[in-house]
Amino acid sequence: MGLKDRFRFKSTAAETTAETTSQTTGIDALPHPEGTEQELRRFRRQHQWDPFLDVDKLDTIDDALASGNTEKEAAIDESLIQENSPYAEVRNSVPPTDSDVPVDTVRAWVIGAFLCTIVAACNVLLSMRRTPITITATVVQLIAYPMGCGWAKFMPAKTFRVFGRTIELNPGPFNPKEHTIITMMTAAGSSLSYAIDILLAQEIFYQQQFKWGFQILLMVSTQAMGFGIAGISRRFLIWPSAMVWPAVLIYCTVMHSLHDHRPSDPSTTNGWKIGRYAFFLIVAGCTFVWQWFPLVIAPFLSYFMWPTWIAPSNVVVNQIFGGNTGFGLMPISFDWSTVIAFLNSPLQTPAFAILNVLAGVCLMTIGAAGLSFAGPEYYRYLPISANKNFDRFAKKYNTSRILAPDFTVNETAYTNYSPILLGPTFSLSYGMGFAGLISTIMHIVLFYGPDVWNRAKNSRYDEPDVHMKLMRKYKEAPEWWFFVIFAVSFAFGMIACQVWDTHLPWWAYILCIAIGAVLFIPIGMVQAITNQQTGLNIVTEMIIGYIMPGRPVAMMLFKSYGYMLSFNGLQYISDMKVGHYMKIPPRSMFAAQAFAVIWLSFVQLAAYNFLLGNIKGICTEDQSQGLTCPGATTFYNASVIWGVIGPARVFGAGGIYSWINWFWLIGFLVPLIQYFVARRYPRSFARYIVTPALFGAAGMIPPATVYFIFQWIIVGLLFNLVVRRMFFGWWSRYTYAMSGALDIGTALCTVLIGLGLGLSESNFPTWWGTEVVESTLDFKGTAVTKQFVKGVTPPLGPATW
């Protein structure tokens, strides 16, 4: 792609007319293949285990193929493959057409670069707050719209020349493709890098000052390596139609809603006439106004656990209904930020995935109840769902008591002090994490293994849907571009680990990258189907803790590279799917993402060093602006526990929690059993079970609690099961627009509250509605079956460790 395509040089009048009026459909983009029957059989084979595809559609294909009626086969092929996406969720969010409008304009790049720079710098600051917040790409998506429209209205229609080429300053109306480029720039690089937490832990807590050279290599390598692996994996995670990525459909719906002001057809929307644009603005505005009540004025609306208010000192009531450290079996809240706190919007997740989460949470609740009331005695002295480690005196584990001056474990002090004790749900969360990881591998191998292998051999293996056909008119971004980025960032990381005294050997660095790369596609396929991502943070902590105990900095780097390769890469590839749905030329998408990934790495580093150099007492409990760095503190504590104490003492043979290793076997067997059941009964419920989603969401408890997850489940099933079945027209038109509006209204309110009240350490005047939530045993973390009395109660746990 040359400069003319990259920066949108001025075209002739004829070209401009064609660009602004031409619209391509899927049938135009690629002619029908001659073998309709072969196409249907191929589609049927590739989607046999697709839980997104309704069973009745598979039955219709089977009937047509069995009949041998070519006309019937052609009609089904036309409606299911050629004209639109086979999935209702995609059809309702993305039109099966492509408009030839400007993409790489000066307007898009200037607004995009400006917004992503400001947002990235602000997010570094906001992440250090006592209660961190993030300015997300959804906020930028809304803010960019009036900026783009304002540019189109007020910027003069002038041209200027660069390298002998003419560039338009105002290329006409602000269009969805420009809007997508701006939003994806922010999405690609504005989220806080894990490297910031590593640097804070090193420089604040470990007092290691590696300075700018190490910082640049670390930041660029952790951010860019995932981008490289994402681009290489497009044939597996972007191009197949079965890789739906439900979460990105919200971006697409909001984008089209903002640029389409037409009213709705009441005959197709259960009688509603309001257009999606007006509907979106009304819901977003009302949400923004309402959120001030639960977030500032009346916090009891966020945590509406009213039985605990009636009996704030009753242990049983607080254990059962408390949503902070109890079971939370009163999942009521009037705060959208509470509903989306851990799993994002439930409206963007399909019903079958929500039901998998429900099954996992029920198993977690039953298991936690068993440990709490019938397990080892020490569980009676600990909160049911506490996100921290305890010592044998039922207090928070004090890592400073076991550390030597060189940040290695003092064996004598450790023996005299305490082993690590975990609460009931925290114990099970590790087990769920183990099961989730191995079940991810098993699920993909069993159900999608042949497809993965065929895609590796042939990038055009999958039967293209309408959107893939439309994208084929654009030049593809070659895979070697992404491989070069991966190789350079890999080299940067190797240099950072070997030149500076990180204690991470070269072979361990290669191992952590290999873990992230090998598991990238299985984890990505599960997320593309269910919206649930299997995290690698637990397994990377354990691996480095076993092979290199006593090296906390090495543990942080190993965990960061292994986990962030997967996490960042999946963020980038989900953004690529947005570009795919919005028909952004792949090379334009590459340019926007590559710029954001590299540029914002330097922006975040500059903001980080500015804050450390100009704010006193940063990352301390009494910092005057509340910049206590909770994320870095947690990261540091984890490095001490798993890098110094090591997982062998906790989960190894003879360890207190060695029983949790049975979950590896459980995670291996459950998908295997499901596979054989699904093969025997292909139309049964077994085809809708996705074990990684079942184990994965349950593994988030804690820091989540059942209180948060059950709300998410209830809202999700209400809309994506009940409303979808009873009012499909309304659901099709408004559900995703409503989800985006709720998210954006909440995000704007949260950011303003954080900037206006949080940074100034101001508080709303106290009254019953602000204090009642904090007056319960559940909130204080003291709703325990038995109280530990110092000097009376014997120390908890085993006598030796």
Element (H, E) at 25: strand 23-25
Band of residue 22 on the pLDDT scale cut at 50, 70, 90: low
Average pLDDT over residues 258-272: 91
The pLDDT tens digits for 534-548 are: 888 888 988 998 888
Band of residue 10 on the pLDDT scale cut at 50, 70, 90: very low
The answer to the question of residue 576 being in a domain is no
Q: What is the DSSP string of 336-379?
A: HHHHTTTT--GGGS-HHHHHHHHHHHHHHHHHHHHHHHHS-GGG
The answer to the question of residue 256 being in a domain is no
Alpha helices by DSSP H, listed for 472-585, are 479-499, 506-530, 537-547, 552-581
Task: Name the token pair of 782.
Answer: 């003291």
With a CB cutoff of 8 Å and minimum separation 6, the contacts of 376 are: none
State how far the Cα of 25 lies from the Cα of 82, in Å rounded to an integer: 9
User: 710 and 700 in contact (C-beta within 8 Å)?
Assistant: no
State how far the Cα of 750 lies from the Cα of 156, in Å rounded to an integer: 36
The answer to the question of residue 412 being in a domain is no
The pLDDT tens digits for 332-356 are: 999 999 999 888 899 999 999 999 9
The better pLDDT of the pair 620, 354 is held by 354
- Tell whether the model's pLDDT for residue 259 goes beyond 80: yes
The pLDDT tens digits for 370-428 are: 999 999 999 999 999 988 889 999 998 888 888 888 777 888 998 999 999 999 998 99
Give bridge partners of residue 98 from the DSSP assignment: 24
The pLDDT tens digits for 243-253 are: 999 999 999 99
The answer to the question of residue 718 being in a domain is yes
User: 730 and 268 in contact (C-beta within 8 Å)?
Assistant: no
Band of residue 280 on the pLDDT scale cut at 50, 70, 90: very high
The DSSP call for residue 396 is B
Which pLDDT does position 23 carry in this prediction? 67
The answer to the question of residue 280 being in a domain is yes
Task: Name the token pair of 564.
Answer: 């962030």
The answer to the question of residue 273 being in a domain is yes
Element (H, E) at 726: helix 724-726
- Tell whether the model's pLDDT for residue 7 goes beyond 70: no
Amino acid at 63: D
Q: How many helices (H) and strands (E) does the chain have?
A: 37, 4
- Tell whether the model's pLDDT for residue 449 goes beyond 70: yes
The better pLDDT of the pair 30, 631 is held by 631
The DSSP call for residue 403 is B
State how far the Cα of 182 lies from the Cα of 118, in Å rounded to an integer: 13
C-alpha angle 404-408-410 in degrees, rounded to nearest 5? 50
Which pLDDT does position 758 carry in this prediction? 61
The pLDDT tens digits for 717-734 are: 999 999 999 999 999 999
The answer to the question of residue 255 being in a domain is no
Amino acid at 778: D
The pLDDT tens digits for 66-96 are: 887 778 778 887 777 777 888 889 998 999 9
User: 69 and 225 in contact (C-beta within 8 Å)?
Assistant: no
Closest CA to 739 of 329, 356, 352, 343: 343
Q: 0.75 exceeded by the pTM?
A: yes
Sign of CA dihedral 334, 339, 345, 349: negative
Band of residue 132 on the pLDDT scale cut at 50, 70, 90: confident
The better pLDDT of the pair 631, 225 is held by 225
Band of residue 3 on the pLDDT scale cut at 50, 70, 90: very low
The answer to the question of residue 504 being in a domain is no
| 450 prior amide bond cis, ω within 30 | no
Number of domains in the chain: 1
Q: What domain range includes position 744? A: 266-397+706-774
User: 424 and 379 in contact (C-beta within 8 Å)?
Assistant: yes
Band of residue 759 on the pLDDT scale cut at 50, 70, 90: low
| Residue 755 neighbours by CB distance under 10 Å | 16
Task: Name the token pair of 609.
Answer: 């060093």
